[in-house]
Amino acid sequence: MAERFDLLLWDVDGTLLDFLAAERAAVRSLFAEFGLGECSGAMIERYSAINRLYWERLERGELPKGEILVRRFKDFFEEYGLDASLAGAFNEAYQLRLGDTIVYLDGSLELVSSLRGRVRQFAVSNGTVAAQTRKLCASGFDRLLDGVFLSEDIGFEKPDPRFFAPVLAAAPDVPPERILIVGDSLTSDMAGGINAGIKTCWYNPSGAPAPAAPIDYTIRRLGEVEAII
């Protein structure tokens, strides 16, 4: 039977790779390196919350990426009485340190490997070039995927449809109805797919309530993608 889709667009953080595991390891190791003392689990959770709020502002186009990357650490440090002047240097080190911890989500490596040659597969991410390049190389996804598209290179963030213009241009023979984006974020991946006029697949492992947005597919395990394509 012919495949239903010819091109899969994979989000990276929270879909192919466990971003939270990398985040925890990176922040904790850099706290030690910068002499900031112990970073507790509660502090990590607070940083994650601050980070999410800033990335949502990025997706809405309210702040440039360079500003949000530093401001999230500045706010975090100020809240805990730490030296906020370290935020810039901490962020630079953090981008590279994120690539030191690779945790595959839900059999992602085996899945992408098994689909190679059956459908084209691109990575589409709002992560920084420094962090994502290291992650994709260390994980081996750079050798399995047919293309990597990063918002920092493109100049626009998901869900802006302009992010998807070069992605679609890289596969001019594939009609939009035969392109599927798979991701965990409703605000960047699913909204981006809808804005770009392509099919959407929400990776929802926690079984969160379905949104009102017209998502084409919802899965709780990445392996369910096989049946969809």
The residues that bridge with 149 in the sheet, in sequence order, are 124
Q: How far is CA 48 from the centre of its chain?
A: 14
For residue 148, the surrounding DSSP H or E stretch is strand 147-150
Q: Are 182 and 197 in contact (CB under 8 A)?
A: no
The residues that bridge with 181 in the sheet, in sequence order, are 9, 200
Please identify which of the residues 6, 11, 106, 189 carries the catalytic annotation. 11
Q: Are 199 and 217 in contact (CB under 8 A)?
A: yes
Active site residue 18: no
Q: Where does 105-145 have alpha helices with state H?
A: 108-115, 129-139, 141-144
Provide the annotated active-site residues: 11
